[in-house]
Amino acid sequence: MRSNERHLDLRVFLDVLEADDPGSVLHIPEQVGLDFDVTAVAMELEKQGRAPVIRFDKVGASPFPVVTNLFGDRGRYARALGVAEEELIETWAGLGEKTIEPVVQETGPVLDVVTTGADVDLASLPILNHFAEDGGRYVTNGIVVAKDPDTGVRNASYHRLQVMGKTRFGTSLHSRRHLWNYAQRAAARDEPIPVSIVIGHHPLFAFGSGLWKGPIDVDEYAVAGGFMGRPLDLVEGVTVPVEAPAYAEFVLEGHIVPGEQAPEGPFAEFTGYASARSTQHVIEVSAILHRRDAIYQDIVSGISDEHTGLLAVPMEARLLRVLRQNYPNVTRVAMPKSGTCRMHVYVAMKDPAPGQAKNAAAMALGEDLSLKLAVVVDDDVDVSSDQDVMWALCTRMQADVDVDILKNCMGAILDPSNHDGLTAKMIIDATKPAAGDFPPRHTIPEDAELRAQALIGKYGG
Conformational region of residue 269, where left means phi above 0, alpha means psi within -120 to 50, and beta covers everything else: beta
Where in the chain are the domains? 77-300, 327-430
Which amino acid is it at 145? V
Contact status, residue 160 vs residue 172, Cβ threshold 8 Å: yes
- Reference 229, options 213, 200, 205; nearest CA is 205
Contact status, residue 34 vs residue 126, Cβ threshold 8 Å: yes
The CA–CA distances, whole Å, from 100 to 232, 336, 387 equal: 8, 32, 42
Fold of 77-300: Pnp Oxidase; Chain A (2.30.110)
Cα gap 245→221, rounded to integer Å: 9
Tell me the whole-structure pTM to 2 decimals.
0.92
Which amino acid is it at 258? P
Buried b (16+ CB within 10 A) or exposed e, 233-264: bbbebbbbebbbbbbbbbbbbbbbbbeeebeb
SS3 89: helix
Peptide bond into 266 cis (omega under 30): yes
Buried b (16+ CB within 10 A) or exposed e, 125-145: bbbbbbbeebbebbbbbbbbb
pLDDT score, position 408: 94
Cα gap 19→331, rounded to integer Å: 35
Question: 403: which strand partners?
Answer: 428
Output the CA torsion 313→317→322→324 (10° steps): 130
In a structure prediction context, what are the per-residue pLDDT tens digits for the chain, which is 461 residues long? 444 455 799 999 999 999 999 999 999 999 999 999 999 999 999 999 999 999 999 999 999 999 999 999 999 999 999 999 999 999 999 887 789 999 999 999 999 999 999 999 999 999 999 999 999 999 999 999 999 988 989 999 999 999 999 999 999 987 567 888 888 888 888 899 999 999 999 999 999 887 877 778 889 999 999 999 999 999 999 999 999 999 999 999 999 999 888 999 999 999 988 988 888 999 999 999 999 999 999 999 999 999 999 999 999 999 999 999 999 999 999 999 999 999 999 999 999 999 999 999 999 999 999 999 999 999 999 999 999 999 999 999 999 999 999 999 998 888 899 898 899 999 999 999 887 788 889 999 999 999 999 999 999 76
pLDDT score, position 2: 46
Contact status, residue 306 vs residue 340, Cβ threshold 8 Å: no
The β-bridge relationship of strands 281-290 and 250-256 is: antiparallel
SS3 215: coil
For 392-395, the CB contacts below 8 A with 24+ separation are 392/430, 392/431, 393/428, 393/430
Rg (CA), the chain: 23
pLDDT score, position 437: 80
The domain defined by 327-430 carries CATH number 3.30.43.10: no
The DSSP result for 324-348, as a single string, is: HHH-TTEEEEE--GGGTTTTEEEEE
Cα gap 310→291, rounded to integer Å: 25
Largest CA distance in the chain: 77
